[in-house]
Amino acid sequence: MLIKTISEVRAQIKEWKKEGFIVGLVPTMGALHEGHMSLIKKALSSCDKVVVSDFVNPIQFCPGEDLDKYPRTLDEDVKLCESNGVDIVFSPSPEEMYGNETPKTNDFLTYVVPPFFYVNKLCGKSRVGHFDGVCTVVNKLFNIVQPDYAFFGEKDAQQLIIIKKMVKDLNIPVEIVSCPIIREKSGLALSSRNKYLSDEDKKEALVLSKILNNIKTCYQNGVTDVKSLKETAFNYLNDKHELEYLEFADADNLEEKQQADNNTRVFIACKVGGVRLIDNILLNQ
């Protein structure tokens, strides 16, 4: 069932809570692919009722990013969700979420601002304010849906770690469930932004997973020095790749590592054909 207003979702949730149902939330920005479907299937298998939010959140896009051209496929998303047994697809307008004038700054909206230590690195470095927008909308969705469980993908590992931190720091009564990255056979991590890639770019985009897999192999062969591990990446890069970062950080608190260990996650962001792609791997997986 497609619902566009907060009051209608609330009314339905109230009924479900009266019945004692366990409610799961899968927050998305739509353009659903197999990666999202893996979260949805996990939610369906572990909760009585499942809400998928489908909302391209304007306040998490930075100036110059792809807010206007971000893929919007609501009709297909709803069909896919309904055929899989999702109970509610919640797709509010920006006005429904933020009032008549969607705020571009926190001058007029109460924001949830995650700690600087978690955002001054990786994607947060180039996407200033992005995680404020993510935490704010996720917090609003938690308040609207009041889920027992919420499902997030490890593809956006920095986002997942920041959301876990927000939930802990603000005592939000929800359990965060993390779900593994889903990849094409080629190794390319699924992402809504893959839609922007030409066939040629798609081949070039494999550089991200190749670099990560190579680093993992070197680590498993005994190399732990991060500097040496980073150097192995340069063999894979050519002028079609614009590397933004390749970083090693603690998988729980994002502390930078000089020596890799089993709890190290390697994060990469690289532009291919003008499309910014991210990926990551846990060294001990």
Strands (E), 40-140: 49-54, 88-90
Catalytic residue among 33, 36, 130, 241: 36
Sheet bearing 275-282, strands edge to edge: 241-250, 264-272, 275-282
130 is catalytic: no
- Residue in the structure block whose two tokens are 């709803």: 78
Cβ proximity to ligand PAF, 74 vs 237, nearer residue? 74
- Least Å distance, CB 7 to ligand PAF, is 21
CA angle 260, 132, 47 (to 5 degrees): 80
Binding of residue 146 to ligand PAF (CB under 6 A)? no
CA dist 147 → 9, 21, 187 (Å): 12, 10, 33
Cα end-to-end distance, the chain, whole Å: 38
- Member of 48, 65, 96, 156 binding ligand PAF (CB under 6 A): 156
Binding of residue 40 to ligand PAF (CB under 6 A)? no
Beta-strand pair 175-179/149-153: parallel
- Member of 3, 25, 29, 268 binding ligand PAF (CB under 6 A): 29
Stretch that binds ligand PAF, among 24-32, 38-46, 102-110, 253-261 (CB under 6 A): 24-32
CA angle 253, 259, 263 (to 5 degrees): 40
Q: How many residues bind ligand PAF (CB under 6 A)?
A: 10
- Member of 43, 47, 50, 57 binding ligand PAF (CB under 6 A): 57
- Least Å distance, CB 238 to ligand PAF, is 30
The residues that touch ligand PAF, with contacts defined as CB under 6 A, are 27-29, 57, 60, 134, 137-138, 156, 159
- Which residues participate in catalysis according to the annotation? 36
